[in-house]
Copies of this chain bind each other. A is one copy, B any other.
Amino acid sequence: MTEPTRRPQRGYLMPIGGAEDRRERRAVLNHFVKLSGGNNARIVVIPSASAFSAELGPEYMRIFSELGAGEVKFADIQERTQANDPDCVSMFENASAIYFSGGDQLKLVALLGGTLLLKKMHERYERGAVIAGTSAGASAISQHMIAFGRPGASPSLRMVQLSAGLGFTDKCVIDQHFRERDRIGRLVSALAHNPSLLGVGVDEDTALIIGPRDDCEVVGAGSVTIVDGSGIEYTDIYDIARYNAISVFGVKLHFLTEGHRYNLRTRIPKPPKKRRNGMPLS
């Protein structure tokens, strides 16, 4: 198959909040397949983060095929040697989309970080491929990744541990299962460390689609919560000991449901377009 003829431009990122509907309406996964090219899509699934990768790989293959994807493969990488093996890397040569399953984001990054395969994935993304991930796979997409954290609505010290992710975007820190697991405190804690960061909390069965120019749109049943730290007026985080609660003044929140838009560069939210054309971004 040949490359698309349009000039190379970056693809879409698609962090999904976990527990996406795989049986009924399948709105989020359907959107992913369309964005990947529909019957021209060439999707590679990476189920490696999961403890059930042997089952998940074939399951996603079946679902994406049912949803009309042209070609679907999976690569169940469990050793770094595989991610440096040219035969494995060549599976991704013409991929129009890569899909990371849920599981443990630390495992995923430990397997892929610094490998030839990750380099190839970045190359594909720069030439238009879609990079999607659900749950742990969503967290791993960003440069600064939430590695662990404790739940709670109010922020406290050491509530969140950041580490280096797969680096597809440096514009935001992504958190998932957001509404379901009470994670606003840990995202605010992450921002209090460095108010330049932007937090993106994705609910279950919901995705944020991040376009090539950092225009975003929400799809799915829940919300995406944007936590903007740039207006933080005060925090006492550097005075706090142990695991105590921290004070933070001036965090800005936006709650976006399906069709609502946001730009990661201008940090401005927008209502849905009056006429939807079925694709998320014009």
Contact between chains at A249 and B254 (CB < 8 Å): yes
Number of interface residues of A (CB under 8 A): 40
CB pair B260–A245 under 8 Å, yes or no, is no
| Those of A167-206 within 8 Å (CB) of chain B | 178-180, 182-185, 188, 201, 203
A residues 64-79 in Cβ contact with B at 8 Å:
none
Give chain B nearest CB distance to A14 CB in angstroms. 19
Q: Which of A40-48, A53-61, A127-135, A147-155 contacts B (4 or more CB under 8 A)?
A: A147-155
Tell me if A105 counts as interface (CB < 8 A to partner B). Answer: no
Collect the chain B residues with CB atoms within 8 Å of residue A234's CB. Answer: 269, 271
Q: Which of B154, B182, B255 contacts A255 (CB 8 A)?
A: B154
> Among A23-31, A113-121, A220-228, which stretch is in contact with chain B?
A220-228
Q: Distance (Å) between the CB of A122 and the closest chain B CB? A: 32
A239-282 CB mask vs B (1 if < 8 Å, else 0) is 00000111111111111110010000000010100000000000
| Contact of A236 with B by CB under 8 A | yes
Known A179-B152, A182-B182, A184-B153: A250·B252 in contact at CB below 8 Å: yes
User: A178 contacts which chain B residues (CB < 8 A)?
Assistant: 153-154
Nearest-Cβ distance from residue A64 to partner chain B, whole angstroms: 26
Task: Indicate how many identical chains form the complex.
Answer: 2
Q: How far is the CA of A220 from the CA of B154 in the complex (A)?
A: 14
- Would B253 and A251 count as touching, CB distance under 8 A? yes
Whether A223 and B203, one on each chain, are in contact in the complex, defined by CB atoms closer than 8 angstroms, is: no
Q: Is the CB of B248 within 8 A of A255?
A: yes
Q: Check B154–A225 contact: CB distance below 8 A.
A: yes
Residues of B close to A221: CB separation below 8 A: 245
Q: Give the interface centre of A156, A185, A236, A247 by most chain B CB atoms within 10 Å.
A: A247
Residues of B within 8 A of A249 (CB): 254-256, 269
Contacts of A222 in B (CB 8 A): 154, 245
Asked whether A236 lies within 8 Å of B254 as measured between CB atoms, the reply is: no
Contact of A247 among B152, B153, B252, B260 (CB under 8 A): B260
Are A223 and B254 in contact, with the CB atoms below 8 A?
Answer: no
A236 contacts B271, CB within 8 Å?
A: yes
**Contact of A236 with B252 at beta-carbon distance under 8 Å, contacts A153-B178, A154-B178, A178-B154 already known:** no
Q: Closest CB-CB distance, A229 to chain B, in whole Å?
A: 11
Q: How far, in Å, is A131 (CB) from chain B's closest CB?
A: 24
Q: Which 7 A-B pairs have the closest CB atoms?
A: A154-B223, A182-B182, A154-B179, A251-B253, A249-B269, A153-B179, A152-B179
A-side residues, CB < 8 A to B, are: 151-156, 178-180, 182-185, 188, 201, 203, 221-223, 225, 233-234, 236, 244-257, 260, 269, 271
